[in-house]
Every structure is written in structure tokens, then in C-alpha cells.
Amino acid sequence: MWKRAGGWAVGLAVAAGPAWAQAGEAAPKGSGQGMNLVEIFKAGGWLMYPIAALSVLAVAFILYLLIVLRAEAVAPRRWLQKVFELLRQGHADEARGLCDGRPSPLAAVTAAALDYVAEAKPVQPDMLKEIMVGEGIRQATRIQNQVQYLMDIAVIAPMIGLLGTVVGMLQAFNAIALDLAKAKPMLLAAGVSLALITTVAGLVVAIPAMIFYAYFRNRSSAVVARLEMASTDLLTHLLGRAS
């Protein structure tokens, strides 16, 4: 994600760098006409570190959700067909073992249903349905909570950035208040531009996190719907065997 920071790095370099030109002074030798990414990061102060940590977490969550929020990872059809085949052959214990061998939300629902069927004599359809619905809701909530972490990052990152901006501006104005000789417009503008670095960095993290949150929110709804359909098929199959 930080590769995308090149765009705002250029913008901040333009905002912070021209202070020499506005003052009619030559740029320090070897400094170039702007700030590179490392210099911008250092200029943002210590609050850039939690923002960087949030960016790493956001990338980690995005990669994780790309893996776990797949239809075959949540409600594998072939796996369920294998469970049906074992149940038709009367191998309920082997079907239960498949739930532990390949954990998934559907496997958790299946395990809860098979445990009840194995213990209940006779099987009560309403109780079986209630158990499966309860476990299904728990799994769906778990999936949706994982997606919510991206929204939390999208909210927290710009708030940290804003805090950095406020702290930076307070420091800039405090320095001017203590020494009126420093109250030059170009120095004040440079200080404010550097203070804004944390806000820009926070938005750089928050905007992609928000975009991916919207994507994974829709994707989670789709996989939860598939989980519901697979659970319904399982309930129908178990009730058919029990009758």
C-alpha cells in the first residue's frame, strides 16, 4: 500500500519544498527540489509510526480476507457432497471426522448438526433446525466481524493523522510565539505543510481500506448466502434420513 504513497509524496514535496523559492533563497546543496519518501516520513514525526503500522495491518487483512472469503473456503460443495455420500452409506462417524479434518464455517454447522443427531433419540426437527441456525448465525457473525476490522482501520488512521496535524501546528505556532523574529510567512507555511503530512498519510491508509471494506462487505454477504443454502441442503438431508 505504501507504494501508492508516491503520488502524495510528490504533492507534499511541492508543498513543503518551495519554501526556499518563496523566500528568494537557494535550496541547500544536495537537497534537491523536494523531499523524498523517507524525509517526508521523518518530517511527519512519531505519529507516522502508528499510521505505518495500520497500513501493514490493512494489507495483512486484505490478503487474509482474499483467502478466507472464498465460496469454497466457507461452504465447499464437493466437501458437502462427500458428507452426504458417507451419510447415505451409514458412516456417520466418518462424516463427523471430515468436519474436524477440514475446518470451515459449513463444517462447524455440519458438526453441530451431526453431534445432535448422534445424541438425540429421536431427532426433533425443530431442535435440529434451531441448533443449525444458531451455529450458522455464529459463523456468519464471525465472517462479518473479520471484515469490520478494515472499517476500524479506515476510521482510526485519519484520526491519528489529524492528531499529528494539530500537534504539529501547535508546535509551529508555539515556536513563533516564543520568538517573534521567526514569524516569517514562509517559515509558518513550511511548518504547516509539514504538519499536514500525517493527515495525508492517514488518508492514504484510510481510503484504500474503505474501498476494500466495501468490496469485502459485499463478498461476505455472498458467501454467507451460500452458507445458508448449503445448511438448508444439509438440514433437508438429515431430516430425510431421520424420517
The string of pLDDT tens digits covering residues 85-134 is: 999 888 889 999 999 888 999 999 999 999 998 888 788 889 999 999 99
Side-chain half-sphere of 61: how many Cα atoms within 13 Å? 26
Segment 125-150 shows an average pLDDT of: 93
What pLDDT digit, counting tens, does each position of 56-95 carry? 999 999 999 999 999 899 999 999 999 999 998 888 899 9
Residue 21 maps to a domain:
no
- Asked if the model's pLDDT at residue 178 lies above 80, the reply is no
Residue 86 maps to a domain:
yes
**8 A C-beta contact, residue 140 and residue 224:** yes
What end-to-end distance do the CA atoms of the chain give, in Å?
56
pLDDT, position 172: 73
Q: Which residue has the higher pLDDT, 36 or 209?
A: 209
Within the chain, residue ranges assigned H as helices are: 5-16, 19-22, 37-43, 48-68, 71-74, 77-88, 92-101, 105-119, 125-178, 185-195, 197-242
Q: Which residue has the higher pLDDT, 139 or 187?
A: 139
Residue 3 banded pLDDT, cuts 50, 70, 90: very low
What pLDDT digit, counting tens, does each position of 150-169 carry? 999 999 999 999 998 888 88
Residue 17 maps to a domain:
no
pLDDT, position 43: 77
- Asked if the model's pLDDT at residue 182 lies above 60, the reply is no
CA proximity to 187, closest of 199, 176, 178:
176
Residue 26 maps to a domain:
no
Tell me how far CA of residue 124 lies from CA of 119, 241, 242, in angstroms.
11, 12, 9
- Asked if the model's pLDDT at residue 9 lies above 80, the reply is no
State the Cα–Cα distance between residues 123 and 121, nearest whole angstrom: 6
The answer for 32, left when phi > 0, alpha when psi is -120 to 50, beta otherwise, is left
CA proximity to 110, closest of 123, 128, 122:
128
Q: How far out from the chain centre does Cα 2 lie?
A: 15
- Domain range for residue 76? 1-12+32-243
Number of domains in the chain: 1
Nine-digit cell string for 232: 438448508
State the Cα–Cα distance between residues 231 and 147, nearest whole angstrom: 22
- Asked if the model's pLDDT at residue 33 lies above 60, the reply is no
Residue 44 banded pLDDT, cuts 50, 70, 90: confident
State the Cα–Cα distance between residues 215 and 226, nearest whole angstrom: 17
Residue 24 maps to a domain:
no
Residue 87 maps to a domain:
yes
Q: What is the overall mean pLDDT for the chain?
A: 81
Residue 20 maps to a domain:
no
pLDDT, position 188: 66
State the Cα–Cα distance between residues 161 and 53, nearest whole angstrom: 13
Residue 25 maps to a domain:
no
Residue 54 banded pLDDT, cuts 50, 70, 90: very high
Computed on alpha carbons and rounded to an integer, the radius of gyration of the chain in Å comes to 28
